[in-house]
Structure 1
Amino acid sequence: MSIKRVTEAELAWVNRQYEQIGFMPSKLQNEIIAIVMSQGHYAGVGRLVMLNAHEAEMGGIYILDAFRGQFLAQELVSYLVEESKRQNLKTVYCIPFEELQHFYEKFGFHAFDAPASNANPRILEKYHWCLKTYDKNVLLLKLTHDG
């Protein structure tokens, strides 16, 4: 297992995966995109979308069916959390499907009262879009780095 940052050459592959599962496409200009490799094959993808100098959204975590059960999503999320620290981000938001809440809590993400918070307006907008768009319920979680 290894994880690598996506280059322009790999972006088309990333976006084909996202298109197949109904996720928004990626672009390198404001995103840190990572591919997890297993035995030399592309096995999954995830991203940090920069909202500003201090905030990002972690999302697009997707492991191809043939590679599930190898804990690759855990490795990918761990990598992106560490990358968010390297980028000196203060807050990382995540909008996972409800059944993934405990998975993300293992990395320090927690639910919060979005209406009463000062959450980034772009995240609130996307959260409401996800609630309307997906058949499954989604949650709004955040991870806060002290410092």
Structure 2
Amino acid sequence: MDISLRLANAADLKAINERYAEVDFVPSHEDELIVLASIGNKIVGQGRVVSIDSNSGELGGIYVFPDNEGLGIARKVVDFLIKNSDFSVLYCLPFGELEGFYSSMGFAPVKDMVQVPQAVIKKHEWCNSNYDKSVLLLERSK
């Protein structure tokens, strides 16, 4: 099964945000690095990197659509986003049960909270107070 990846464009945004609404993720905007994964002509997953500041971004919104899990789509999406991001540091706020996956992609728990942009800290706090699952704060440097 061949999984292809492509950068999203403005015409894709409505469908992207409809998918994010299914899982209560915040909507995407045109200025984000967004990738779409497809099998044949069918989009089966998506992910994004959002700019935090000139040096850092947040990798997130990794969503493999129902009935497409276990095919390696998330790994391909995350790898693509890492390779195509220009940021020196990427932060990630995954659910706790995904720590092993993100560790295998080069992410690790934040060591120095003083270096973390305030926007990331606030989002992490928001996630942990609004989701039923524990949300981690991980980072990856280039």
TM-score (norm: length of structure 2) = 0.95
The runs of 4+ residues in structure 1 deviating greater than 4 Å are none
RMSD: 1.0
Q: Distance in 2 between matches of 1:124 and 1:61?
A: 19
Count of aligned pairs between the two proteins: 140
Residue type of the partner of 1:103? F
Q: What's the counterpart of residue 123 of structure 1?
A: 120
Q: What's the counterpart of residue 25 of structure 1?
A: 27
Q: What's the counterpart of residue 91 of structure 1?
A: 89
TM-score (norm: length of structure 1) = 0.92
Q: Distance in 1 between matches of 2:115 and 2:50?
A: 19
Q: What's the counterpart of residue 55 of structure 1?
A: 56
1:47 deviates by 0.1
Stretches of structure 1 lacking an aligned partner (at least 5 in a row): none
Per-residue deviation, residues 64-102 of structure 1 (Å, max 9, x unmatched):
012111110010001011112xx2x11000000000001
Q: In the alignment, which of 88, 107, 110 is matched to residue 109 of structure 1?
A: 107
Q: Kindly indicate whether residue 44 of structure 2 is the aligned counterpart of residue 46 of structure 1.
A: no
Q: Kindly indicate whether residue 12 of structure 2 is the aligned counterpart of residue 13 of structure 1.
A: no
Q: Distance in 2 between matches of 1:35 and 1:97?
A: 21
Q: Distance in 1 between matches of 2:77 and 2:68?
A: 13
Stretches of structure 2 lacking an aligned partner (at least 5 in a row): none
Q: Percent identity?
A: 31
